[in-house]
Amino acid sequence: MSFTIRPLATGLPRFGSRVLLANAARRAPLTSVRGYTTSGGSTKKSSNNTLLFLGLAALGGAGGYYYHNSQQGVKVLDSSNKKKEIDYNQVYKDIAEILEDNDYDDGSYGPVLLRLAWHASGTYDKDTKTGGSNGATMRFEPEATHGANNGLKVARDLLEQIHAKYPEISYGDLWTLAGVCAIQELGGPTIPWRPGRQDAMTAESCTPDGRLPDAAQKEKHARDIFYRMGFNDQEIVALVGGHALGRCHPDRSGFDGPWIESPTVFSNEYFKALTERKWIKKELPNGGWQYVDKANPDVMMLPIELAMYQDKEFKKYFDEYAKDEAKFFEDFSKAFKKLTELGVPFKGDEKVYVFQKTTE
């Protein structure tokens, strides 16, 4: 894949100039809210569903391999008795190829692919062992239309061309691999990844609305949501560093703008911005509000992020990652791998892939 690399030697690149910043321009500054829905929280998973998964697993064990023919809406048994080998390194390269698009947002689909991987995974509930990237239940209503998932159709649709080329890959594997690819290709740490997610066949497996965080809430809400997945304070702060990438869209979340001036470069600039700048409240047309940087109101922070920074326990990690990018990369890689593996029924003998960045 060839990214347009523009060394931004002087000044700020224009905000929203569709310039794609790649690794070489990592430190270059560039200069859109989601009130996630909050109803519900825990789910009683249909026992039919469990039975379906168990049934499929048994079939897999017996050598058969089911896949879903979405065109005809039927389940098909592949009697070849052998699951076709998937070249995951090539899948990675093919995703890397389609990341750049100068007509989309800031020039890359990477951020929205990362958000897809996180929202597919972040529904996990460790107590009921439901949700997570296994199943890829966001393919179905009602999960596809949960308020928190606004805008993610862009990412799901984009990946259909990859799925068409590799029909044997599960959507859960494809979406998480795409998240890994986005992080790595936009300059982030390498993230070991392994296959093993199985697609759910019906909407019964959808998680209830309200499992993803609501940006308008406070630090307690962040803890409630991420503790439910099994994360600690340090892992939560590392993961939120994903906001180095991308932006908020008024028509998706209601918030508006990127967190930093280089929204297509994975770095610890998000932490530097949060901890070093003066953030002031700004009213939004939808009646909500967000923070903007006093010196550059084009960049923003969500209400929950400043609330988290005011919490003593969370604060120490925000400060640490602002000072030490290597530590942030190391911790983010571990936490993101954990996130994308929550609830996945690995057999234990899966090959772990460390994909090589196409930019190196």
* Catalytic residue numbers, as ranges: 119, 259
19, 112, 178, 201: residue in contact with ligand HEM (rule CB under 6 A)? 112
31, 130, 133, 253: residue in contact with ligand HEM (rule CB under 6 A)? 253
The least CB distance from residue 246 to ligand HEM, in Å, is: 2
115 near ligand HEM (CB under 6 A) = yes
Query: Residues 193-212 vs ligand HEM: string with x where CB under 6 A?
Result: --------------------
25, 159, 206, 245: residue in contact with ligand HEM (rule CB under 6 A)? 245
34 near ligand HEM (CB under 6 A) = yes
342 near ligand HEM (CB under 6 A) = no
What's the distance, Cα to Cα, between the start and end of the chain in Å?
11
Segment contacting ligand HEM (CB under 6 A): 13-21, 32-40, 287-295, 347-355? 32-40
248 near ligand HEM (CB under 6 A) = yes
Binding residues for ligand HEM, rule CB under 6 A, total: 27
Nearer to ligand HEM, 120 or 248 (CB): 248
Provide the token pair at 143.
């999960």
292 near ligand HEM (CB under 6 A) = no
Provide the token pair at 325.
């990018």
222 near ligand HEM (CB under 6 A) = yes
Give the CB-nearest residue to ligand HEM: 246
111, 132, 189, 343: residue in contact with ligand HEM (rule CB under 6 A)? 111
Segment contacting ligand HEM (CB under 6 A): 23-31, 48-56, 189-197, 244-252? 244-252
Residue 327: HSE in the Cβ half-sphere, 13 Å Cα cutoff? 12
Provide the token pair at 32.
């859109």
- Torsion sign (Cα): 263, 267, 268, 272: negative
118 near ligand HEM (CB under 6 A) = yes
25, 33, 120, 169: residue in contact with ligand HEM (rule CB under 6 A)? 33
Nearer to ligand HEM, 201 or 245 (CB): 245
Segment contacting ligand HEM (CB under 6 A): 12-20, 89-97, 240-248, 341-349? 240-248
124 near ligand HEM (CB under 6 A) = no
Nearer to ligand HEM, 29 or 213 (CB): 213
Cis peptide before 142 (omega within 30 of 0): yes
228 near ligand HEM (CB under 6 A) = no
255 near ligand HEM (CB under 6 A) = yes
Rounded CA gap, 22 and 165, in Å?
Answer: 27
114 near ligand HEM (CB under 6 A) = yes
Binding positions for ligand HEM, rule: CB under 6 A: 32-34, 111-112, 114-115, 118, 151, 213, 215, 222, 239-240, 242-243, 245-249, 252-253, 255, 302, 304, 336
